[in-house]
Amino acid sequence: MIKPVRDRVASWLATACLLATAGCSSSMPSLTCADTIESACAAAGSCVPTWDDAQSDTAWCVGATELSPLRVDCGAYHVVTVKVGADSRTFYYDATADASSSGALVAMVTAHSASATTTCDAGPATGFTIPTCSGMGSEPLPQCFDGGTDAGDAATF
C-alpha cells in the first residue's frame, strides 16, 4: 500500500515539474484536446478567460499552498498550474508580444497522478503541445498569498 502512494506522489511531482516549473526540460508530443476552450468555458465562471483576468482572479486560491497555484512564463505562454485533488491542472495563456496577442486562454491540460498520464481537457482542434521551458522556476500567484482575498473567500473552481 505504501509503494503505490509513493509512486503516485513521485508521478505527480514529476508531472507538476514538467508542467509548471520552467527549469524542467522535456519534449512532449502533441495532445489531442477533448474539447474547445469556447465550449469548456461556456458556463459563466467556469474558466478564467484571459491573462489579464488571471492576474487578479482568486478562483484558483481555494486550498492554496506553497506548491499550488503556481505561475510561470514559458515560451509563448503565461502558465498557471493548480493542484486538483491528487492531480494538477495547467492553464496556458497566449503571451506572444505581437499586436494580435489577446492573452486568451489557449489550453487546459491535466496531469493525472494515479495513471501517470497527461490529457488536454480543452484547447485547439489541431491539438496542443506542452512547451519546453527553461529559465526561472514557478512562483505563487500573488493574489493568493500577498494580501489578496482569503482562500476561503474564493469561489470553488
| pLDDT tens-digit series, residues 44-95 | 778 999 998 888 877 777 767 777 788 888 888 999 888 888 898 999 999 9
Q: Which of 157, 88, 72 is nearest to 80 (CA)?
A: 72
Angle (CA) 131-49-105 rounded to 5° is 15
| pLDDT tens-digit series, residues 10-58 | 333 334 444 443 334 445 678 999 999 999 999 877 899 999 888 887 7
Residue written as cell 477533448? 34
Q: State how far the Cα of 53 lies from the Cα of 94, in Å rounded to an integer.
A: 13
Q: State how far the Cα of 24 lies from the Cα of 39, in Å rounded to an integer.
A: 31
DSSP E strands: which ranges in 4-116? 30-31, 70-74, 77-84, 87-94, 105-112
> Residue 71: its pLDDT value, please?
85
